[in-house]
Structure 1
Amino acid sequence: MHLSYCTNVHPAEDLAGIIAQLDTYALPIRRRLDTGVLGLGLWLAAPAAAELAASAADRRRLRRELDVRGLEVVTLNGFPFASFQAPVVKHAVYLPDWTSPERLDYTLNLAAVLTDLMPDSASYGSISTLPLAWRTPWDPTRAAAARKHLDELAQGLDRLAVSTGRTVRVGFEPEPGCLIENTTQAAELLADVDTRWLGVCLDLAHLACAWEEPAAALQRLRAAGVPVVKVQVSAALQADDPGAAAQVLRSYAEPRFLHQTRSRLGPATDDLDEALDRQLPGPWRIHYHVPLHAAPAAPLTSTIPVLREAIHELVTECEHFDVETYTWNVLPPDQRPVDAAGLADGIAAELAFARDLLAAEAAVR
């Protein structure tokens, strides 16, 4: 079992910046956790991935920089293409999607890089990616293009395994508002892909926002033969009485990321502002990744109970668990880290929470 934290919380998008963030964040986090090895769910923007894929020397350099700091990489986040910490991201994070050859090229570049980064002890490497596309526009032409690229992805991963002896698998990550929003849609749209190489990445905040019950969701995927190749350990924001919590919820509405909001009764919006303006009936779950170890501002809660149930189901199902709280820098000001040391402290506390939860589940199996 591998536990990591996802580095898409950091803005660096070139090799020099990526190496610098290892000293600013990853090394202090490892020391705070008092562990010999810290896992990173590395995010490489598309230009950096292309440069590394083209240069064996740069890949060796990055591997050395990781090794000397006691850092390991078995998984990459290939969802954001670039500029994930830009002032405004919103719908741009879904482009290019799987109808585009650029998305295929990016993902195959990541796979090539990962074969040289992951330790020899890893049984496979994983890459998370977007769930095909945002739900609109979608038509048979776009569906055919996406399917062609998924077939080419599987073929490319097969060739890579033959040439390197390393297995890399790609997980499509159900997300609110996308073509694949939940495990029902994942089971339907991914059932006939080549599951030697392709499967799902289950983000536990997204699972909660879909109001899915973890055991039933996992059974649905098993029945369809769709494997879970990666888990993103995350918690969403919950408002049991949105009207009473409206003022606090306004403090979470911010311009960088989409915060898709789902009512248990069915109504849904693509952002928190819209849900507040429309006064959707509650309770709500909001696609806002909140720190695992700390409660959000009252009267809000988080979906940690769903996370616990999901980990119980997944601990024998998957090897890769990646803590992905990318929203640290857009939290309400009183919860936001004031400097790099504060962010490192927060990420270390999340990892400690996840490590203890995973260890407790593994101990009883």
Structure 2
Amino acid sequence: MKLNSGHLTYCTNIHPGKNWTEDFEALKLNLPLIKQSVSPGKQMGLGLRLSNEASLALSQPAALTEFKQWLKDNETYVFTMNGFPYGEFHRTVVKADVHTPGWVTESRRDYTLRLFHILKELLPQGMDGGISTNPLGYRHWYTTEGSLKEATEKGTLHVVEVISELIRIYNETGKVLHLDIEPEPDGMMETGREFIDWFEGDLLSLGIPAISEVFNLSEADAEAQIRRHLMLCYDVCHFAIGYEPHAEIISELAAKNIKVGKIQISAALKADLNKPAAERGQIKKAFDQFNEPVYLHQVVARQQDGSLLRYLDLPEALEDFDNAYVQEWRAHYHVPISIQEIGLLSTTQQDIIEVLTIQKNNPFTNHMEVETYTWEVLPQQIKLPIAESISKELLWVSSKLA
């Protein structure tokens, strides 16, 4: 739905589906209920997530025509998509395979191009459209600095090929489409700082000469095209886990003319561990109820000297829970954003409020997307019916932006 500060939606990766048939059925079941709650009588935006298999099916003209008609009939429009998870995303072990295939592969490039051609057909005139994607790959696939550097270069070149196609689409249709890189813990880009360094280093150094040659542009014009079509996906959960200063990052991005394509509105778990031993033991039990086997739940701990200690997943962190030098935990687990306290644990809801306040007062993107994809693996005590849960979150965001 369109608010004063931009388009707001939710990401359909919360709905389990192995293929387009199942995805479409989930939308038919849930979206009318959600729309009636949050956007009655007005158009509602949709953040579409398609697996590779689903994207192949929806690329077929008959399927795409049927979906476009359904969107029209239900006063719904697609303006953003989630191209991060390539394969199945529910009811199977995902973990680090959420990054598979990485940007070093042609498969990731081709999947992303296919998503953009679908979005080109679905996007209403006069709107920009974005697709979020993984931060080139999973950092721990590469055991040496040399192999990581080589993978970064190869992945960046594939990203530049996608940018080239987005320039062609813009020249043909006038539609501005952008690829939104999403840093996350243990990704090849984990932080805002790493994204900015990659953008100003690898992307521009490799992209400017390539775009200049393909389109016969000056270096300045080639750079302008890159800045139009490559943006940051600002996942609040991911940035909060790393204790990143939101206002400083957003200000630096603006100063450097690096655009934010989308805010993904999401919350992490956190807890103050500077407690007596007995209370710490109860906090450990509280975290353990979120120790589920489907997704990666990286933990970033803040130590007494302010340094950060990173754990690959919640089980490894729980094994080191008695580390007395650790003062705070933040865990990658997308919990409902409208909740501030979950028993002895807290959420990073305040980070969301800070980012939304900046967006409200000085909008820095057109796209906002609630992304609480963990509904199926949430503890029962905080799990509402799925359509009610999504509606509650969208209404909570709308109230903060009002």
Moved over 6 A (4+): none
Deviation at residue 244 of structure 1 after TM alignment: 4.2
**Please, which of 299, 312, 316 is the counterpart of residue 270 of structure 1?**
312
Corresponding position: 1:125 with 2:133: no
Deviation at residue 22 of structure 1 after TM alignment: 1.7
Larger Cα-atom Rg = 2
Whole-Å Cα distance in 2 between the matches of residues 226 and 56 of structure 1? Answer: 35
Relative to structure 2, which stretch is displaced further, 137-146 or 70-79? 137-146
Whole-Å Cα distance in 1 between the matches of residues 14 and 395 of structure 2? Answer: 18
Deviation at residue 24 of structure 1 after TM alignment: 1.3
Which residue identity is paired with 1:69? N
In structure 2, the CA distance between the partners of 1:247 and 1:33, relative to structure 1 (3 Å rule), is: same
**Please, which of 240, 243, 267 is the counterpart of residue 208 of structure 1?**
240
Deviation at residue 169 of structure 1 after TM alignment: 0.5
Corresponding position: 1:321 with 2:368: yes
**Please, which of 58, 61, 69 is the counterpart of residue 56 of structure 1?**
61
Deviation at residue 243 of structure 1 after TM alignment: 4.5
SS of the equivalent of 1:195 reads helix
User: Is the Cα–Cα contact under 8 Å of residues 20 and 55 in structure 2 kept in the other structure?
Assistant: no
User: Is the Cα–Cα contact under 8 Å of residues 267 and 335 in structure 2 kept in the other structure?
Assistant: yes
- Structure 1 residue aligned with 2:167: 158
Deviation at residue 330 of structure 1 after TM alignment: 0.6
Q: Deviations over 1:206-248 (max 9, x none)?
A: 1100101110111232344321011101111111125441111
Relative to structure 2, which stretch is displaced further, 148-157 or 17-26? 17-26
- Structure 2 residue aligned with 1:260: 298
TM-score (norm 1): 0.93
Whole-Å Cα distance in 1 between the matches of residues 110 and 9 of structure 2? Answer: 25
**Please, which of 181, 190, 204 is the counterpart of residue 181 of structure 1?**
190
Which residue identity is paired with 1:270? L
- Structure 1 residue aligned with 2:222: none
SS of the equivalent of 2:388 reads helix
Relative to structure 2, which stretch is displaced further, 8-17 or 281-290? 8-17
Which residue identity is paired with 1:183? G
Deviation at residue 318 of structure 1 after TM alignment: 0.4
Which residue identity is paired with 1:171? D
User: Is the Cα–Cα contact under 8 Å of residues 340 and 349 in structure 2 kept in the other structure?
Assistant: no
Q: Deviations over 1:114-144 (max 9, x none)?
A: 011122242x101000011111314333222
User: Is the Cα–Cα contact under 8 Å of residues 136 and 152 in structure 2 kept in the other structure?
Assistant: no
User: Is the Cα–Cα contact under 8 Å of residues 136 and 156 in structure 2 kept in the other structure?
Assistant: no
Which residue identity is paired with 1:149? H
**Please, which of 345, 350, 354 is the counterpart of residue 393 of structure 2?**
350
Which residue identity is paired with 2:186? G
User: Is the Cα–Cα contact under 8 Å of residues 9 and 368 in structure 2 kept in the other structure?
Assistant: yes
SS of the equivalent of 1:133 reads coil
Which residue identity is paired with 1:91? A
- Structure 2 residue aligned with 1:227: 259
1:1-365 pair list within 5 angstroms:
1-35=6-40, 36-53=42-59, 55-122=60-127, 124-136=128-140, 137=142, 138-191=147-200, 192=204, 194-241=226-273, 243-265=281-303, 266-279=308-321, 280=323, 281-315=326-360, 316-337=363-384, 342-359=385-402
Deviation at residue 65 of structure 1 after TM alignment: 1.1
User: Is the Cα–Cα contact under 8 Å of residues 269 and 335 in structure 2 kept in the other structure?
Assistant: yes
In structure 2, the CA distance between the partners of 1:176 and 1:140, relative to structure 1 (3 Å rule), is: closer
How large is the Cα RMSD of the aligned pairs? Answer: 1.6
Whole-Å Cα distance in 2 between the matches of residues 358 and 295 of structure 1? Answer: 18
Which residue identity is paired with 1:174? P
SS of the equivalent of 1:284 reads strand
Relative to structure 2, which stretch is displaced further, 343-352 or 23-32? 23-32
SS of the equivalent of 1:255 reads coil
Whole-Å Cα distance in 2 between the matches of residues 32 and 112 of structure 1? Answer: 31
Whole-Å Cα distance in 2 between the matches of residues 322 and 78 of structure 1? Answer: 14
> Which consecutive unaligned segments of at least 5 residues does structure 2 have?
1-5, 208-225, 274-279
Which residue identity is paired with 1:134? Y
Which residue identity is paired with 1:5? Y
Deviation at residue 301 of structure 1 after TM alignment: 0.7
TM-score (norm 2): 0.84
User: Is the Cα–Cα contact under 8 Å of residues 19 and 65 in structure 1 kept in the other structure?
Assistant: no
Deviation at residue 23 of structure 1 after TM alignment: 2.0
Whole-Å Cα distance in 2 between the matches of residues 344 and 317 of structure 1? Answer: 29
Deviation at residue 179 of structure 1 after TM alignment: 1.1
Whole-Å Cα distance in 1 between the matches of residues 383 and 246 of structure 2? Answer: 30
Q: Deviations over 1:7-57 (max 9, x none)?
A: 00112243322221122111111112252222211001112213333x333
Which residue identity is paired with 2:234? L
Whole-Å Cα distance in 1 between the matches of residues 178 and 247 of structure 2? Answer: 23
Which residue identity is paired with 1:135? R
User: Is the Cα–Cα contact under 8 Å of residues 183 and 220 in structure 1 kept in the other structure?
Assistant: no
Whole-Å Cα distance in 1 between the matches of residues 154 and 92 of structure 2? Answer: 31
Deviation at residue 355 of structure 1 after TM alignment: 1.2
